[in-house]
């Protein structure tokens, strides 16, 4: 079982970009209903795949500079980093299998 780490503007570089291996980031906002639905899916993915990837989440209202710097234009958005490089992502609410495939492709 894996937990999801909350990242911020101050620790995004150290917790995601400078981290070896696969890191997955869920960008969300508290005012976003689809983000709340995605949170349930993301929790399941973290439990199922957490031994292979590092799962994090970032509230775009708390770190707009990170979201803007990565070109996040809508939430929810999930990005996958491998050894610090952005390698994939999924924008919007979709099926669990779509998110899982995106992550699995980089493990």
**CATH of the structural domain 5-104, one choice from 1.10.3720.10, 3.90.79.10, 3.40.30.10, 3.40.50.300:** 3.40.30.10
Domain definitions of the chain by residue range = 5-104
Residues with catalytic function? 32, 35
pLDDT, one tens digit per residue, over 45-91 is 999 999 999 999 999 999 999 999 999 999 999 999 999 999 999 99
Global pTM value: 0.95
> CA triplet 32, 38, 39: central angle to 5 degrees?
90
Q: Compute the CA torsion angle 6, 23, 91, 5 (nearest 10 deg).
A: -10
To the nearest 10 degrees (0 to 180), the angle between helices 96-104 and 33-49 is 50
């Amino acid at each position: 079982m894996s937990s999801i780490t909350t990242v911020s503007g101050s620790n995004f570089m150290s917790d995601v970009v400078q981290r070896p291996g696969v890191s997955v980031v869920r960008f969300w906002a508290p005012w976003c209903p689809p983000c709340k639905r995605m949170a349930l899916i993301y929790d399941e993915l973290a439990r199922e795949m957490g031994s292979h990837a590092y799962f994090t989440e970032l509230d775009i209202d708390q770190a707009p500079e990170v979201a803007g710097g990565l070109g996040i234009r809508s939430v929810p958005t999930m990005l996958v980093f491998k050894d610090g490089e952005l390698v994939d992502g999924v924008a919007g609410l979709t099926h669990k299998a779509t998110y899982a495939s995106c992550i699995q492709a980089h493990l």
